[in-house]
Amino acid sequence: EAGVTQFPSHSVIEKGQTVTLRCDPISGHDNLYWYRRVMGKEIKFLLHFVKESKQDESGMPNNRFLAERTGGTYSTLKVQPAELEDSGVYFCASSPRTTGYEQYFGPGTRLTVT
């Protein structure tokens, strides 16, 4: 069974540019989560999809971040325009159930904004 995949693995962009991150969850997993880890800090929740619906987006930093999951399969996270403080590792995770269940993480996208 294929795991969670993320693309790209690394991205270096200049402040003000746009970047789109993609996450393909494990097939059949309705729940998809985005997280971010800023250097030296803990992993922080960004948002949670159940199928194509946003269940909780309370962790999204501001309106420069837009997440979508059209069709309830893969998800994209767009940052527009990127700022220096957006640098970090963005993880995606998926799970077959919402509560009390293991989440399977992707390898992450390392974003550097210069």
Partner 1 sequence: RKEVEQDPGPFNVPEGATVAFNCTYSNSASQSFFWYRQDCRKEPKLLMSVYSSGNEDGRFTAQLNRASQYISLLIRDSKLSDSATYLCVVNGGSYIPTFGRGTSLIVHP
Q: Find, among 31, 57, 34, the residue nearest to 44 by Cα.
A: 34
Binding-site string for partner 1 from residue 54 to residue 93, where x marks contact by CB under 8 A and - marks none: --x-xx-------------------------------x--
Residue identified by tokens 């077959």 is 96
Which residue from 44, 81, 87, 96 is in contact with partner 1, where contact means CB under 8 A?
Answer: 44
Per-residue exposure over 17-34, b if at least 16 CB sit within 10 Å of its own CB, e if not: eebebbbbbbeebbbbbb
Site for partner 1 in 7-26 (CB under 8 A): none
- Residues in contact with partner 1 by CB under 8 A are 33, 35, 41-45, 48, 56, 58-59, 91, 98-100, 102-108
